[in-house]
Structure 1
Amino acid sequence: MTGGGPVDSGGPDRLYTVTGGRSRPRDNGLDLVTFVISEGEPVLGMQSEHVRIMRLCRAYPVAVVEIAAHLNMPVGVVKILLGDLLADGRVSARRPRSVTRGDRLPPSETLKKVLSGLHKL
């Protein structure tokens, strides 16, 4: 056993195995800000990445981009894994509500102050 680095480097071979050789997600309408929530508990025999996603999304909805960050995997790979879970009914996905013309937005001064505060971080 070597102590030089992580056993799982997340390299292309590993990602190929995780996705079963698939390079494109199903056309399931997932984008970076789509919220995902588990519809139950993981079951014995599930792929470990699927289990991690289900546990991460158990308590509250999590955006696709956040799931990718937590798993330290490319978004495209995460979308493939989520497609599997969606097809099996193990998770649900929902896009955030879009702003419509009648919705009240914060005053532009408030948004400018928020942006200024973010720049100072």
Structure 2
Amino acid sequence: MRTLPHPTPGEFRIDTVLTALADPIRRRIVRQLADGHGDQACIAFELPVTKSTSTHHFRVLREAGIIEQHYQGTRILSRLRDEDLDTRFPGLLGSVMTASDQETAAQEV
């Protein structure tokens, strides 16, 4: 079975996590995973980028430790590693997502 490499929580680095979350497309992916249920297939995300760019964004999130991905047949399923992130960097993910949501709401007004 094919597997993808993932960092352990002890390998998470704050600069890598923050760099990954700095991109609005990646925050959009994280928001959908946070609001969704369980594992989600990459095709479930409607992103305004090409498939190859989308793949890049998922890889950045996975390599930072923000998401976990695994194969199910030919599909790659993703899930948010919010518990691992909160253990390593308490409150970070929630704070970043709250700030992002507030910024998006302010832009819509």
Same fold (TM over 0.5): no
- Give the structure-1-normalised TM-score: 0.39
Identify, as 1 or 2, the structure richer in helix.
Answer: 2
- Give the structure-2-normalised TM-score: 0.43
Q: Which structure has the larger Rg?
A: 1
Q: Which of 1 and 2 has higher RCO (CA within 8 Å, sep 6+)? A: 2
